[in-house]
Amino acid sequence: MIYTSPHSNLSNIIGTSPEDIDNRKQGSDRFLLMAVVALMMFGVLAVYSSIAYFAESKSTTAFTLITGHIIKLGIAFVVMLIVSKINYHTLAKFSRIGMVISWVLLVAVLMFGTEQFGAKRWLNLGGFTFQPSTVATVALLLHICVLLSEKQDYVKDFKRSFIPIMVWVSITCALIGVQDFSSAGILFGICLIVMFIGRASTLQLGTLVLIGVFGGMLLLNQSENRQSRIDNYITQVKDIESTKILQGAGYQAQQAHIAIAKGEFFGVGIGKSSQRDFLPAPYNDFIFAIIAEEYGIFGAMSLILIFTLILFRGVVFISKNAEDTLGSLLAIGCTLTIVLYGFVNAAVASGLLPVTGLPMPFVSYGGTSMLFAGLMVGILLNISKHHKDRRTMYYG
C-alpha cells in the first residue's frame, strides 16, 4: 500500500506523474475489489464442499459443477471490470429502456416460466435459464436514482415526484412479488431507503410503508407456502425443537441450525461437512450454514465482516465522495442490494429470519445472481473513480 498526495514523488515508481495519479477519474476502490475477490474465494471452497449430493442427483460430478461455478465467477468478474470502465452516467441514459425490458421479462416468466421449488422464477431463452427478477432489480435501482437526481428541485412534490417514482417501484415489485415475495420485499425496502436519502417526503414515505405492510400481509395470506414459513418461524422462536427431526417447512431451518452448532468456534474442517447431505440447497440458500459448520463461528464472522467492509466502503466512502447526486444514490442502492442479500442469507440460516430462498452474492452457486451482482459492483467501482474533489487518497 502506497500513500500518495499531490506532492509525492512517485513517477519513478509506477511510471506516472503525481498529477496523473491524483486525477479524479482514475483509481477505483481497491478495498471493495479485494472484498469481492475474498467472497468469491469463500464461495468456491464452500460450493465445492456442499455440491456433491446435488451433482449426484444430476448424474455428474462435483468437479464438473465447481468448474462451471468458477467459469460463472470469471464471467461475473469480467462483467465487473468492463462495467467499471463505463461511466455510470452513460448507463443512466438506458434506465428507462432497461425498465421496459425487465417488465416484459417479468410478465413472460409469469406466463412461460420454469417452475422450481414451487415458484415460477426462471425463464428459459434459447437454452439459457435466468431469473428476470435480478434484471428488474438492477434496472429499477438505476431508474429511481435517475429520477430522484432529476427531480431534486421538487423532490417533495407529491404529483411531480413521488407518484411518478412509485409507479415504477410498485409495478416492478408487484410483478416480482407474485412468485418471489422475499426478493420483492427487500427491493421495495431498498427503494424506500434510497428515496429517503434522496430527500423524498418523510410523510409520504411513512404512509407508503403502512400501505406496503398491509399489501405484504395480503400477499402472505394468498400463499399457503409463505404462510407456513411464517408460522414455522414463529414456532421456532417460541419453542426450539431439539428432541426430534422436524419435517416439512421446519426441516430446512433445523438442519441449518444443526450445521452451525456442529461448527462451534473453529469448525469441523474444510470439506468435512456432514450436514451437506441433509440440507436442501446447501450450495445456495443455506451455504452460510455449511461455511459455519466447516469454518466455525470464526469463519462465519469473517464472512460477515467482509460484507460489512463492502457496506462501509460503499456508503461511507463511495457514496459520500461521489461527484453528484446520481452517483451517491446509485452507490447506496447497489451497496445495500449486495449487502442485504448477504445478511439475509446468513440470518435465514441462523434462524433470525424465516426461510426465504435468497442467494448470498458471489458465494452461493448460481449464474444470473452472480452476473448482476458483478454488474452492480462494477457500477460501484466506476462511481469510486469520480470524486467530487481531489483530496488526498490511498492507492495500492
Whole-prediction pTM:
0.83
Residue 224: what pLDDT? Answer: 62
Residue 75: what pLDDT? Answer: 93
User: For residue 281, which of 174, 347, 366 has the smallest C-alpha distance?
Assistant: 366
Per-residue CA distances from 174 to 111, 185, 194 (Å): 15, 10, 19
Strands 2-3 and 394-395, sheet pairing: antiparallel
Name the residue type at position 35.
Answer: A
**Alpha helix (H) residue ranges in 245-286:** 249-263
> Nearest-5° angle of CA 281, CA 108, CA 95?
95
**Alpha helix (H) residue ranges in 51-201:** 52-57, 62-84, 88-92, 95-112, 132-150, 163-177, 181-197
Residue 139: what pLDDT? Answer: 94
CA atoms of 267 and 282, how far apart (whole Å): 16
- Contacts within 8 Å (CB) and 24+ apart, 224-229: 225/118, 226/181, 229/354, 229/355, 229/356
CB atoms closer than 10 angstroms to residue 299:
21
Per-residue CA distances from 352 to 65, 109, 214, 230 (Å): 30, 31, 22, 12
Give yes or no for a contact between 261 and 231, defined as CB atoms under 8 angstroms apart.
no
User: For residue 325, which of 160, 152, 88, 138 has the smallest C-alpha distance?
Assistant: 152
Give yes or no for a contact between 332 and 142, defined as CB atoms under 8 angstroms apart.
no
Determine the angle formed by the axes of helices 249-263 and 224-238, rounding to 10 degrees.
40
- Under DSSP, is residue 127 helix (H, G, I), strand (E, B) or coil? coil
- Determine phi and psi for 358, rounding to 5 degrees: -95, 135
Residue 146: what pLDDT? Answer: 95
CA atoms of 141 and 120, how far apart (whole Å): 23
Cell matching residue 215 = 399489501
Residue 250: what pLDDT? Answer: 67
User: For residue 140, which of 180, 182, 174, 181 has the smallest C-alpha distance?
Assistant: 174
The DSSP secondary structure of 97-119, one letter per residue, reads HHHHHHHHHHHHHHHHPEEETTE
- Determine phi and psi for 239, rounding to 5 degrees: -150, 100
Q: Mean pLDDT, consecutive 10-residue segments, the chain of 396 residues?
A: 40 39 58 94 88 74 86 93 93 93 91 70 75 91 94 90 92 87 89 92 86 70 62 57 58 79 85 78 85 91 95 92 92 95 90 81 86 94 78 35
Residue 220: what pLDDT? Answer: 63
CA atoms of 84 and 12, how far apart (whole Å): 27
Residue 179: what pLDDT? Answer: 78
User: For residue 50, which of 261, 281, 228, 366 has the smallest C-alpha distance?
Assistant: 281
